[in-house]
């Protein structure tokens, strides 16, 4: 992941969300600081599913409290979703965002928090309603557009501690849906998005 413009290289695909978390924990054990690039590499491949899943996990976890990290993640998600929308075969990501890092201790804490969620998710997800979670089909357009909207809401919400958790849950669900070809999970992600947008709108109206 040192070159943000490189083509994807074959890698061992991690089986399930818990497998991704285990690789993140392994990276945290090796390094004092762990960069976003290293977290993405932990997913085992550079396809669109993991490139949405890992940013989603970052924002869903306590890592969202790191100043500036949710905004960097928002840029990554915006770029990934835009390139998904354009049907690009490989993904370009900016080096400045990939170099953002967190302490290994904080990453290990985030993994511990997310592990129970991962166990449940891995038991429930499976290939079904594939047409709704196919990155090569028409489903990619609504998924990409929703991810772009999510990314645009994240920087303002960074001012409110952990307010981006719903955005993280939606991105995690979309990424996992694309990895596992679980269309039902993609629908759940859409519901999470709608809930998040409604809460954000309600918050803005209450402050107006």
Percentage of the residues of the chain whose pLDDT score is greater than 90 = 29
pLDDT over threshold 90, residue 137: no
Q: What is the pTM of this model?
A: 0.83
pLDDT over threshold 90, residue 191: yes
Signed CA dihedral, 90, 135, 19, 152: sign only:
positive
Give the Å distances, CA to CA, from 102 to 17, 37, 105, 172: 20, 11, 8, 19
What pLDDT does residue 108 have?
92
Tokens representing 157? Answer: 């919400």
Q: Which of 10-19, 132-141, 185-194 has the lowest mean pLDDT?
A: 10-19
What pLDDT does residue 10 have?
37
Tokens representing 34? Answer: 């762990």
pLDDT band at 12 (very low <50, low <70, confident <90, very high): very low
What pLDDT does residue 42 have?
77
Where are the domains positioned within the chain?
17-207
Tokens representing 75? Answer: 């840029």
What pLDDT does residue 170 have?
93
Please give the angle made by the CA atoms of 142, 39 and 117, to the nearest 5 degrees.
Answer: 65
31-63 pLDDT per residue, tens: 788 888 888 887 765 568 888 999 999 988 888
For 162, other C-beta atoms within 10 Å of its C-beta total 16
pLDDT over threshold 70, residue 6: no
Region 171-197: mean pLDDT is 91
Query: Backbone phi, then psi, for 138, in 5-degree steps?
Result: -70, -20
pLDDT band at 162 (very low <50, low <70, confident <90, very high): low
* Strands of the chain, DSSP E: 33-35, 101-103
What pLDDT does residue 9 have?
38
pLDDT band at 166 (very low <50, low <70, confident <90, very high): confident
Name the residue among 134, 46, 155 with its Cα closest to residue 90.
Answer: 46
pLDDT over threshold 90, residue 182: yes
Higher pLDDT, residue 207 or 108? 108
What pLDDT does residue 139 have?
81
């Amino acid at each position: 992941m040192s070159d943000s413009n490189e083509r994807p290289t074959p890698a061992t695909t991690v089986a399930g969300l818990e497998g991704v978390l285990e690789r993140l924990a392994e990276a945290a054990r090796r390094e004092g600081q762990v960069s976003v690039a290293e977290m993405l590499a932990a997913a085992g491949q550079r396809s669109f599913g993991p490139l949405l899943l890992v940013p989603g996990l970052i924002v869903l976890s306590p890592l969202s409290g790191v100043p500036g990290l949710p905004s960097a993640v928002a840029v990554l998600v915006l770029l990934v979703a835009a390139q998904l929308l354009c049907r690009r075969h490989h993904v370009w990501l900016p080096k400045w965002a990939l170099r953002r890092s967190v302490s290994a201790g904080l990453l290990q804490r985030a993994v511990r928090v997310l592990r129970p969620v991962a166990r449940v998710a891995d038991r429930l997800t499976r290939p079904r309603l594939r047409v709704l979670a196919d990155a090569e089909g028409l489903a990619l357009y609504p998924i990409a557009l929703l991810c772009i909207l999510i990314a645009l809401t994240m920087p303002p919400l960074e001012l409110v501690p952990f307010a981006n958790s719903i955005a993280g849950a939606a991105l995690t669900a979309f990424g996992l849906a694309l990895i596992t070809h679980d269309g039902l999970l993609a629908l759940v992600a859409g519901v999470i998005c709608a809930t998040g947008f409604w809460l954000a709108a309600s918050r803005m109206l209450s402050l107006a």
